[in-house]
Amino acid sequence: MVTTVSRVLNRVSSPADLRTLNDEELSALASEVRELLVQTVARTAGHLGPNLGAVELTIALHRVFDSPTEPILFDVGHQAYVHKILTGRAGQMPTLRQTNGISGYPSRQESEHDWIENSHASTALSYADGLSKAYDIRGERRPVVAVVGDGALTGGMCWEALNNIAASDRPVIVVVNDNGRSYAPTIGGIAEHLAGLRLRPGYERVMGTVKAGLPRVPVVGPSLYEALHGMKRGVKDVLAPQGMFEDLGLKYVGPIDGHDRRALEAAFAQARGFGAPVIVHCVTRKGFGYAPAENDEADQMHQSAPFDPATGAVVAAPPRRWTEVFADELVALGERRDDVVAITAAMCEPTGLGAFSRRFPERTYDVGIAEQHAMTSAAGLASGGLHPVVAIYATFLNRAFDQLLMDVALHRLPVTVVLDRAGLTGDDGASHNGMWDLALLGVIPDIRIAAPRDEPTLRAEFHEAVEIEDGPTVVRFPKTPLPAEIKAVRSVNGVDVLAEPGPDALVDVLVIAIGATAADTLQASRAATDAGYTVRVVDPRWVTPVNPQLIEFSRHARLIVTVEDGVAVGGAGSRISQAVRAAGVTTASREVGIPTQFLAHGKIADVRMKAGLTATDIGRRIVEWSALVQRAETDTLSTADSEAIDTA
């Protein structure tokens, strides 16, 4: 699906084309880019606010630096829609985040201009450090640009990288896109330092220019910067000190009005010419130029559902989601227990901590984009007699694994980790799928993992988790809307039976549904029943440790099939199979899960189909595996009969 783009934009198929445009055309281009952003995200959903704030900045970068020869690396990448538009993908924007369309993040498959695509924060500076070292070894003197938000500067990797970058004379240009926010307002000491710069008179003059320009967006007034730079130990802005960067030995330029293209170009050109590491501090406004985004107090339309472009109003009310249920239960828990505290890594609202933070602000800690610190800080809180609830996306748990293993679990501390967006997330692509957690967590000794299947079990299992005081607990749930309640036929020693021919029946297949797979698994089991096989479907509720009742059920089945929305290799199913074998049970077992692949973005239903995780796929496999077991048993009996005849 390709659309015809507007009059200036249709002359831009590569960054080189930007250098042929005059000031009037560049102002028109900024307007057209903003219009395309709004119209696109209104239909496809996605990250609107960050991109609206980065239009002039991205145009200026591509006019000064020769991409892709001079790499421009976008940290996280959610602000790279403008970069995509300017590098030949404007006509593909209607396919943004759609199945077989362009990604919502930089993608190496899409363009040579996209160098990195992992979309986890605070990594671009390390990539830039490594790339610059590679060029140095090869005898090439190429600048490498890393665009990093002020929110990402709260992540420790940024400072580890800056420490190394500053120790060299390689031409790494760090562009700090400072809008005072990641999802929510950026917090912490670094944020306070940047805020201190914003309070100085020079910064106020910059912001005065930005605010005055709002009614004229995207036509930005003449630059107020006739002399942007002074010299002190290298390049430095004359308006504000660069204390925290200067202490590292980095040259500093700024703050620069991030919506004044000519000022940005002058700053980038001087930084480029310096030939050594430079920080360029650009001040932008998230959502700039689109009133509904600017006026959105929560997050400036950081990540938007489909909306009416004329008003910014969401087109349809979203269905009730798992996150909302968790949010309600956390507040209720906080009312009853004053030892419960909440921790977020810069994602208070998206992970469901918003209501708790408003009700109990003194018991809520936003640590910035710092999942590792969040987990060990939680360990400290637990050591002090509190019960921390750490709420993060499942994909970001990968970053805090060592801390959960060594700082929490080793000390048997009562920390409850709530993993939102577990399983397949779809349109945000490979780096956001929460498919690794069950395999990773399974190697942690004595950890307890709950996987609810619906709203009542989420409420119950979350409360069970926070009652455990002798070690860490995990509660995981997906991004998808809540399913209808799935009632158990009966419960046996903590395992819910969802379907069976009878309580004492020997069955052909024991199907173990992990968490939110229960609805599809029940539907899939009907295919096996229709094929003539008897089926018992159970939900263990707590995935780890393996409930002994599952082993008992396995003794009364000819085949065990586990179904999970995590990677099959090393996942919950494999641990159940190991436990069954360790108990001396010889029942055959098979695992249904996500293949160990980086799955492309797309609608969740499409990604599930590619992963073989639809109800139809699960049902087909249950039937095929049941037939194989039946055939094997028949062959065994035939062989035994033949041997008996031969012996006779």
pLDDT in tens, 217-275: 333 223 322 323 332 233 333 334 356 676 777 888 888 999 999 999 999 999 999 99
> What does the block give as tokens for 336?
């009853």
Structure tokens at 68: 């892709």
pLDDT tens across 3-18, in order? 555 689 989 999 999 9
* 557/505 Cα distance (integer angstroms): 9
Pair of tokens at residue 354: 């918003």
pLDDT, tens only, 493-548: 999 999 999 888 899 999 999 999 999 999 999 999 999 999 999 999 999 999 99
Structure tokens at 548: 């002994």
pLDDT at 5: 55
Distance CA 23, CA 263 (A): 13
How far apart (Å, rounded) are the C-alpha atoms in residues 249 and 170? 13
pLDDT bracket for residue 72 (50, 70, 90): very high
Q: Is residue 38 very low, low, confident or very high in pLDDT (cuts 50, 70, 90)?
A: very high
More confident residue, 240 or 71: 71
All residues at 6 or more sequence positions from 427 whose CB lies less than 8 Å from its CB, including other chains:
45, 97, 98, 104, 601, 602, 603, 604
Distance CA 84, CA 565 (A): 32
**DSSP state at residue 87:** I
- Predicted pLDDT of residue 144: 97
Q: What's the pLDDT score for residue 2?
A: 45
Superfamily of domain covering 322-476: Thiamin diphosphate (ThDP)-binding fold, Pyr/PP domains (3.40.50.970)
Structure-token pair, residue 596 = 């160990």
Query: What pLDDT score was predicted for residue 633?
Result: 75
User: Taking all residues of the chain, what is their mean pLDDT, rounded to a whole number?
Assistant: 86
Please give the helix or strand (H or E) that residue 594 lies within, else none: strand 588-594
**Greater model confidence, 634 or 227:** 634
Least confident window among 58-62, 253-257, 378-382, 537-541: 253-257
* pLDDT classification of 574: cutoffs 50, 70, 90: very high
Give how far Cα 521 sits from Cα of 84, 439, 451, Å: 40, 20, 14
Task: Give the whole-angstrom CA distance, residue 310 versus residue 39.
Answer: 9
Q: Do the Cβ atoms of 569 and 439 come closer than 8 Å?
A: yes
What do you get for the CA distance between the two ends of the chain, in Å? 73
Q: What percent of the chain has pLDDT over 90?
A: 66
pLDDT given at position 1: 40
Of 168-182, 220-234, 372-386, least confident by mean pLDDT is 220-234
- pLDDT of 138 strictly over 80: yes
CB 88 within 8 A of CB 111: yes
Interval 617-638 mean pLDDT: 84
3 state SS of 279:
strand
* Residue 556 confidence (pLDDT) above 80: yes
Instruction: Return the pLDDT at 322.
Output: 96
What integer is the mean pLDDT of 550-573? Answer: 96
The class of domain 9-294 in CATH terms is alpha beta
Please indicate whether the domains covering 9-294 and 322-476 agree at the CATH topology level: yes
User: Which positions are catalytic?
Assistant: 286, 371, 399
Q: What is the pLDDT of residues 527-540, one digit of tens each?
A: 999 999 999 999 99
pTM here?
0.84
3-state helix vs strand vs coil in the chain, percent to 5? 45, 20, 40
Q: What is the pLDDT of residues 329-373, one digit of tens each?
A: 999 999 999 999 999 998 899 999 999 999 999 999 999 889 999
pLDDT for residue 295: 85
Task: Give residue-wise pLDDT tens across range 384-433.
Answer: 999 999 999 999 999 999 999 999 999 999 999 999 999 999 888 888 89
pLDDT given at position 641: 47
Tens digits of residue pLDDT in 202-219: 444 444 544 444 343 333
Say which amino acid occupies 172. V
Which of 58-72, 244-258, 556-570 is the least confident region? Answer: 244-258
* 3-state SS string for 421-473: CEECCCCCCHHHCECCHHHHHCCCCCCEEECCCCHHHHHHHHHHHHHCCCCCE
Q: Provide mean pLDDT across the span 302-320.
A: 84
Give one word for 284, left, alpha or beta, with left for phi > 0 and alpha for psi -120 to 50.
beta
Pairing of strands 473-476, 557-567: unpaired
Which is more confident, 632 or 464?
464
Q: Residue 185: pLDDT band by 50, 70, 90 thresholds?
A: low
**pLDDT tens-place string over residues 122-131:** 899 999 999 9
CATH number of 490-634: 3.30.1300.30, 3.40.50.920, 1.10.10.10, 3.20.20.80? Answer: 3.40.50.920
DSSP assignment string, 110-154:
T-TT-------TT-HHHHHHHHHHHHHHTT----EEEEEETTGGG
* CA 141/CA 502 separation, integer angstroms: 74
What's the pLDDT at 635?
A: 64
User: Are the C-beta atoms of 541 and 461 separated by less than 8 Å?
Assistant: yes
For the chain, the domains span: 9-294, 322-476, 490-634
> What percent of the chain has pLDDT above 70?
86
User: What pLDDT sits at residue 243?
Assistant: 62
**Would you place residue 314 in the very low, low, confident or very high pLDDT band (cuts 50, 70, 90)?**
confident
**Residue 608: what pLDDT?**
92
